[in-house]
Amino acid sequence: MTIPARYRDVLLTESHGKITITRNLDGGLLIYPRFEWESRRKIIMELPSNSRGLQRLLLGNAQDVDIDGSGRVLIAPELRDIAGIVKDVVLVGMGQKFELWAADKFAEQQITDLASIDLSQLDSFSL
């Protein structure tokens, strides 16, 4: 996958092109700049023993990847399978991380997300 230029430049500068990819519990993948993942990894490792399943899902599927000279990253086949990625993808900036989705699954998730928003709970929120 080619990282869009607007994100690639920041990732190359701030994390020297080093990222970590793991599964997202919603069905896609999570992509973190390596330094950001390291702080998250420590938090995940400190979870209580009854969170072993979550630790296995997040830590056990995490893969360190480097952005190549052409701005591309290789998504491991097992991660592509988890996310249902065959061809078209959507990369979503989420602040300190990215979500990577199969395009069709992302479209479905958008419908679910829109249906689940309770505007009455957002009275003080404004864009």
Backbone φ and ψ of 109, nearest 5°: -65, -35
CATH of 5-118, one of 2.40.170.20, 2.40.30.10, 3.40.1230.10, 3.40.1550.20: 3.40.1550.20
Predicted local confidence at residue 87, as pLDDT: 92
Backbone φ and ψ of 29, nearest 5°: -125, 155
pLDDT digits (tens, 9 = 90+) for 110-127: 999 888 887 777 777 766
Phi-psi region of 24 (alpha: psi -120 to 50; beta: other; left: phi over 0): beta
Task: State how far Cα 70 lies from the chain centre.
Answer: 21
Q: Cα separations (Å) of 8 from 66, 67, 107, 114?
A: 11, 8, 24, 29
pLDDT digits (tens, 9 = 90+) for 59-87: 999 999 999 999 999 999 999 999 999 99
Predicted local confidence at residue 75, as pLDDT: 95
Q: Where are the domains of the chain?
A: 5-118
